[in-house]
């Protein structure tokens, strides 16, 4: 098993992040959380309460640490295989004492994670993979989600299944939808009686069904980490090269401290491409922050491929497509990593339906009406296919593209796959677009900058046609954005071993386009891209002001819409792809909500 390291980049990024923190006008929140070993959401618990935590150790924990937990009145829940961490249950009164242990690096709660294609395939060129005789055959894709239910379109694709939350049936329905986007064969929509066939780009892949989300679409970080460990352990047996994570949680700390981020990095270092939903918080604070700084964990990790959602407008061309209003935007909280990395269709995606799942029970009109894909079909809702929206559904399209690249180039590292996808992404966006919600009458204004669309729009055909091969030892870590208050300019900061560094292989203007919005050095200059000729935004106040990234209103679990809730709809937690705002992303079915 090859291990790919990026120590130089880590060091440079740490320096850049420190410089940026020092430049902030209000460091209240940053100062409260940067040095403490206790996560911010552990610092005000009732001492008499019991809490499940994930403790990250500086050196691997031994039996002595386990015995100490017992003396605290706690218990060992599980050991993490690939990171120096373990899951414990213990009284909150013991946390401060535990944090004083020299071997403890960080303590975080075992948080809740939640579940955040016919024309979509054609829009991103995935339907042209057949020209290359590629369908993902031989590539293992681990879907860490709510399970994969039985469906004719997925028959024979699942080679391994394991659940951390009951049986392996998909009682929620989200994992089956994700699986169909990647590997659906179209069996139940193929034939003379069908006007449309719903088929995924990579029907030849081998799926690993790793269930971590319960019937309400919620799960625990510890289970997600355990599933990631399982995928790593099975890498050689099933050629696991891709992990799809259409789920997430709010960001509470730097990715360097977050155990979920550390787990995905271990998978990446083991040679597995990790593809993560950006989240559905893009409608947050439409009149003040315009949804910036809302990327969820682990999409905030610079290694992984973080995916935002486009609306393909129901056509086969890209020219009329727009970013969805709910797609989360960067930069990431605390670290200001440039995210998302790429965008893909995620609005009103047609995919496989898990019978009797909670999604269908709660949203019976989510199914596709029979006449929309069957000749002489009636207006009853299909029992085979549904239509669903969110960054959760954009993510598996990118996972499928990664599988096709890896079938074509089996020796590619995760960094090479990421670089190929970002370099070949389509970059001809409009300057702005807007969408008015028909219910609330709120207008959401979108700007096509680096924090909204990343490197561009997934373009599978271009990715498979490209002949440039970056050096295997180079990193494709997403850069950080650093603001210089003296020059009022922001720059992208990369390490000297990064694929898109200024003098290595591909310059930043190749990855992000020649437009000044994401040029090789400056994201915006002294006149500011977000000025009077674009949207009524002020970049300096929105991204680096005193009330956003580090100010008193930094998003928390309580302030994120629906965070921690167990139901779906009406702003509650919806499921993989993180939680949505009021537009119920992940479940939009009627008006093509953007």
Average pLDDT over residues 285-311: 90
User: How confident is the model over 238-265, as pLDDT tens digits?
Assistant: 999 999 999 999 999 999 999 999 999 9
* Residue tagged active-site, from 174, 189, 258, 581: 174
87 bridge partner residues: 54, 78
Tokens of 534: 């674009």
Average pLDDT over residues 433-456: 87
d(CA 367, CA 386): 4
d(CA 308, CA 146): 21
**Cβ proximity of 336 and 14 under 8 Å:** no
**Band of the pLDDT at 481, cuts 50, 70, 90?**
confident
Please determine, for residue 586, whether its predicted confidence score (pLDDT) is greater than 50.
no
Helices (H), 371-469: 391-408, 414-423, 450-453, 460-465
* Residue tagged active-site, from 392, 480, 508, 580: 392
User: How confident is the model over 85-118, as pLDDT tens digits?
Assistant: 999 999 999 999 999 999 999 999 999 887 764 4
- The verdict on pTM exceeding 0.75 is yes
**Cβ proximity of 221 and 263 under 8 Å:** no
348: how many CB neighbours lie within 10 A of its CB?
24
d(CA 448, CA 469): 28
pLDDT top residue among 412 and 360: 412
**Cβ proximity of 200 and 398 under 8 Å:** no
SS in 3 state form for 163-212?
ECCCCCCCCCCHHHHHHHHHHCCCHHHCCCCECCCCCCCCCCCEEEEEEC
pLDDT top residue among 362 and 421: 421
557: how many CB neighbours lie within 10 A of its CB?
15
What are the backbone angles phi and psi of residue 31, rounded to the nearest 5°?
-65, -35
d(CA 561, CA 571): 6
* Residue count of the chain: 594
Tokens of 410: 């089996």
Nearest to 29 by CA among 584, 586, 548: 548
d(CA 303, CA 263): 11
510: how many CB neighbours lie within 10 A of its CB?
16
312 catalytic? Reply is: no
**Cβ proximity of 310 and 332 under 8 Å:** no
* Residue tagged active-site, from 118, 121, 135, 145: 145
Tokens of 428: 């001809």
What are the C-alpha distances in Å from 153 to residues 50, 238, 374?
45, 21, 16
Please determine, for residue 8, whether its predicted confidence score (pLDDT) is greater than 80.
no
Please determine, for residue 224, whether its predicted confidence score (pLDDT) is greater than 80.
yes
d(CA 141, CA 396): 10
**Cβ proximity of 493 and 18 under 8 Å:** no
446 bridge partner residues: 433
145 catalytic? Reply is: yes
pLDDT at 448: 85
Nearest to 149 by CA among 351, 372, 398: 351
Average pLDDT over residues 350-360: 92
pLDDT at 470: 81
Determine whether 466 is exposed, middle or buried from the number of CB atoms within 10 Å of its CB (0-12, 13-18, 19+). middle
Average pLDDT over residues 523-550: 36
Tokens of 237: 């047996």
d(CA 429, CA 255): 30
d(CA 569, CA 484): 41
**Band of the pLDDT at 591, cuts 50, 70, 90?**
very low
Residue at token pair 């209240």: 28
Run of H or E including 484: strand 480-484
**Cβ proximity of 548 and 332 under 8 Å:** no
pLDDT at 513: 65
**Cβ proximity of 413 and 292 under 8 Å:** no
Average pLDDT over residues 544-561: 37
Tokens of 432: 């702005």
pLDDT at 126: 64
d(CA 346, CA 392): 7
87 catalytic? Reply is: no
Q: What is the mean pLDDT of the chain?
A: 78
d(CA 520, CA 538): 22
**Cβ proximity of 402 and 274 under 8 Å:** no
Please determine, for residue 423, whether its predicted confidence score (pLDDT) is greater than 70.
yes
What are the C-alpha distances in Å from 319 to residues 255, 315, 325, 424, 476?
35, 9, 18, 16, 28
What are the backbone angles phi and psi of residue 207, rounded to the nearest 5°?
-95, 135
Nearest to 310 by CA among 294, 299, 321: 321
């Amino acid at each position: 098993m090859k291990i790919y390291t990026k120590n130089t980049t880590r060091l440079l990024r740490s320096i850049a992040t420190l410089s940026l923190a020092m430049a902030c006008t209000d460091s209240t929140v940053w100062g409260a959380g940067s040095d403490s070993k206790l996560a911010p959401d552990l610092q005000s618990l009732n001492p008499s309460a019991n809490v499940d935590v994930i403790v990250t150790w500086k050196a691997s924990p031994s039996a002595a640490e386990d015995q100490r937990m017992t003396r605290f009145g706690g218990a060992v829940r599980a050991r993490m295989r690939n990171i120096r961490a373990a899951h414990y249950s213990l009284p909150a009164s013991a946390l401060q004492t535990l944090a004083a242990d020299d071997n403890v690096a960080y303590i975080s709660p075992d948080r809740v994670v939640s579940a955040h294609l016919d024309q979509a395939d054609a829009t991103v060129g995935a339907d042209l993979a057949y020209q290359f005789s590629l369908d993902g055959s031989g590539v293992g894709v681990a879907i860490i989600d709510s399970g994969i239910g039985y469906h004719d379109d997925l028959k024979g694709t699942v080679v391994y299944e394991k659940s951390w939350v009951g049986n392996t049936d998909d009682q929620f329905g989200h994992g089956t939808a994700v699986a169909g986007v990647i590997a659906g064969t179209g069996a139940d929509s193929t034939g003379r009686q069908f006007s449309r066939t719903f088929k995924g780009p990579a029907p030849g892949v081998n799926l690993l069904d790793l269930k971590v989300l319960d019937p309400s679409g919620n799960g625990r970080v510890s289970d997600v980490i355990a599933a990631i460990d399982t995928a790593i352990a099975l890498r050689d047996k099933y050629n696991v090269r891709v992990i799809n994570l259409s789920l997430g949680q709010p960001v509470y700390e730097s990715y360097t401290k977050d155990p979920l981020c550390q787990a995905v990095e271990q998978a990446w270092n083991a040679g597995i491409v990790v593809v993560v939903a950006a989240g559905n918080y893009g409608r947050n604070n439409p009149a003040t922050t315009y949804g910036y700084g809302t990327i969820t964990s682990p999409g905030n990790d610079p290694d992984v491929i973080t995916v935002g959602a486009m609306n393909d407008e129901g056509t086969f061309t890209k020219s009329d497509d727009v970013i969805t209003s709910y797609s989360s935007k960067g930069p990431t909280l605390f670290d200001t990593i440039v995210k998302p990395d790429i965008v893909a269709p995620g609005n009103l995606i047609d995919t496989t339906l898990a019978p009797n799942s909670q999604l269908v029970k709660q949203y019976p009109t989510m199914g596709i009406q029979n006449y929309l894909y069957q000749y002489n079909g009636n207006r009853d809702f299909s029992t085979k296919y549904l239509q669903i929206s969110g960054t959760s559904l954009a993510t598996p399209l990118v996972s499928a593209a990664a599988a096709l690249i890896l079938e074509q180039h089996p020796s590619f590292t995760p960094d090479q796959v990421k670089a190929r996808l970002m370099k070949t992404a389509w970059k001809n966006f409009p300057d702005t677009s807007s969408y008015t919600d028909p219910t609330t009458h709120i207008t959401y204004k979108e700007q096509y900058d680096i924090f909204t669309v990343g490197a561009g729009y997934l373009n599978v055909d271009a990715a498979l046609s490209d002949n440039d091969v970056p050096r295997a030892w180079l990193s494709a870590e997403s850069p950080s954005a650093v603001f210089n208050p003296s020059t009022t300019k922001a720059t992208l900061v990369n390490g000297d071993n990064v694929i898109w560094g200024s003098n290595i292989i591909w310059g930043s203007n190749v990855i992000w386009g020649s437009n000044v919005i994401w040029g090789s050095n400056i994201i915006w200059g002294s006149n500011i891209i977000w000025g009077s000729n674009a949207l009524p935004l002020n970049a300096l106040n929105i991204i680096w002001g005193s009330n956003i990234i580090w100010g008193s209103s930094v998003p928390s679990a309580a302030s994120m819409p629906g965070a921690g809730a167990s139901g779906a709809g009406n702003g509650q937690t919806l499921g993989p792809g993180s939680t949505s705002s009021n537009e119920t992303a992940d479940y939009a079915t009627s008006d093509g909500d953007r």
